[in-house]
Structure 1
Amino acid sequence: MNQPMFDIPKEKVLALIPARGGSKGLPRKNVLMAGGRPLIGWTIAAAQASHVIGTTVLSSDDEEIMATARACGCAVPFRRPEELASDTAATMDVVLHALDQLPPYEYLVLLQPTSPLRTEADIDAAFELMVRSGAPSCVSVSGAEQSPYWMYRVGADDRLSAVLPVPEGVTRRQDLPAIYTLNGAIYIARIDWLRRVRSFVSAETVAYKMPAERSIDIDTREDFEKFCSIVEQQVR
């Protein structure tokens, strides 16, 4: 998508990139280099290239991450409080804190730096889907690797009970209904609705489908190495 197919000024759209310094699974992951740029730089670049985003802001408690984001051209107008940078801090509290520090916007695009293969085209298409459908929010999803229709609970007597009943007549995995999971790449919402609902997901939310190859979520060293391998193949 080259240009958005609707008339919403970019000045009304804020992108927020949350990146705290205390990662446990892969320490300092947001500033690790991959393909000639820090991990967080991939998300900043996608936001900057988007046709719908007007301002991109970082929320972080970490000086190195803040300096790295600034070097990539991302605004860092405030520092996240320590109490919102712990392992137990809720993402929505981080979002609302950021919104309270900034001038008013109408739409928020939350972009996690651990999803570096999400593109500007994905962001624009997700935003357009939300606007065209009249929904208050849109989140990105990808096909689930394991179907819950073939998952079971194990009781105290070691007997199996199905998590979900398999639809009548279905005997093959490929005939099961398609199931999707949040891939963490894109969360978009009208800010007035978001403040009221305090969640990006409700019965009104629409889903933007992304392929598995762009849905990588970096949490471990193995995830990061896989990403580096993908990037190296792209630049050859």
Structure 2
Amino acid sequence: MECKVNKKGSVLALIPARGGSKGIPRKNIRYVGGKPLIAWTIESAKKSKYIDRLVLSSEDEEIIAIAKNWGCDVPFVRPESLAQDDTPGIMPVLHALEVLPEYEYIILLQPTSPLRSEQDIDNCIELCWQNNASACVSVALVDKSPYWMYRVGKDYKMDSIIQSETLYNQRQETPPIFALNGAIYFARAKWLKDKKSFLTSETLAFQMPKERSLDIDTQRDWVFFETIINNGLKN
């Protein structure tokens, strides 16, 4: 299949998967739909038109072995110091760029977003390239508008999170608000090394549908994912 846009440079895809998940132990290699969670992301990434190399960043031997079995390259083992509970998410990305400096772009694909498709990946990259942007991340429309959210003080009084002169009485009247869905983070490598974040005033938003924006963080999220897969509701 031909690319819709001229390729701007080589693309490294990175799947971060450490072994110390607390909310759902070993979730990255926990099976659903006949394959480990990480395999859902590996399969989508391998179908991308633009990704030149797909690699794993992990310190865990079992995760490494499973990722290799599903066709993901593992050219390095992540240092234990970058696999702690409090390790900033950008650090494994910057580490990968240090080890593999020859790529012009990097795309971060978290295994906890298994419903993201290869079309989502490619469309996000295309949006960035078409606009000559330095970075693009995926977002989804929020279910609950922050225009209806409040802080509650010790005196039980309500203080609006968003100050607005307009009073919205119906959900349909509120302005559309988007939130990061955790599925796709794409950036020019040199730019990311300098900014040390995918999120700046220069970053574009790639809008994904809510039905593919599941970010598995809790047991409830996992049960929801199992329900989708076991009932053939994906896509």
| Alignment match, 1:213 | 211
Q: Contact 2:148 / 2:160 at 8 angstroms: preserved in 1?
A: yes
TM-score by length of 1: 0.94
| Alignment match, 1:5 | 4
Q: For 1:122, which of 116, 120, 123 is the aligned residue? A: 120
Alignment deviations for residues 100-154 of structure 1 (CA, whole Å, 9 cap, x no partner): 1114100001000000000000000000001111211110001112211111112
Task: Report SS of the residue matched to 1:15.
Answer: strand
Q: Which amino acid aligns with 1:106?
A: E
| Alignment match, 1:161 | 159
Alignment deviations for residues 148-183 of structure 1 (CA, whole Å, 9 cap, x no partner): 111111223221111112452532221000000000
Q: Which amino acid aligns with 2:24?
A: L
Task: Report SS of the residue matched to 2:106.
Answer: strand
| Alignment match, 2:140 | 142
Structure 1 position 222 matched with structure 2 position 220: yes
Q: Distance in 2 between matches of 1:33 and 1:81?
A: 26
Alignment deviations for residues 45-72 of structure 1 (CA, whole Å, 9 cap, x no partner): 0110000101000000100000000000
Cα offset for 1:3? 3.8
Q: Distance in 2 between matches of 1:139 and 1:180?
A: 12
> Are residues 72 and 225 of structure 1, via their aligned partners in 2, closer, same or farther at CA, if it must alter by over 3 Å?
same
Q: Distance in 2 between matches of 1:174 and 1:168?
A: 14
Q: Contact 2:44 / 2:118 at 8 angstroms: preserved in 1?
A: yes
| Alignment match, 2:168 | 170
Q: Contact 1:167 / 1:176 at 8 angstroms: preserved in 2?
A: no
| Alignment match, 1:203 | 201
Uncovered stretches (5+) of structure 1, i.e. residues with no partner: none
> Are residues 169 and 219 of structure 1, via their aligned partners in 2, closer, same or farther at CA, if it must alter by over 3 Å?
closer
What percentage of aligned pairs have identical amino acids? 51
CA RMSD between the two structures: 1.6
**Runs of 4 or more above 6 Å deviation:** none
Q: Which amino acid aligns with 2:5?
A: F
Task: Report SS of the residue matched to 1:234.
Answer: coil
Q: Contact 1:114 / 1:217 at 8 angstroms: preserved in 2?
A: yes
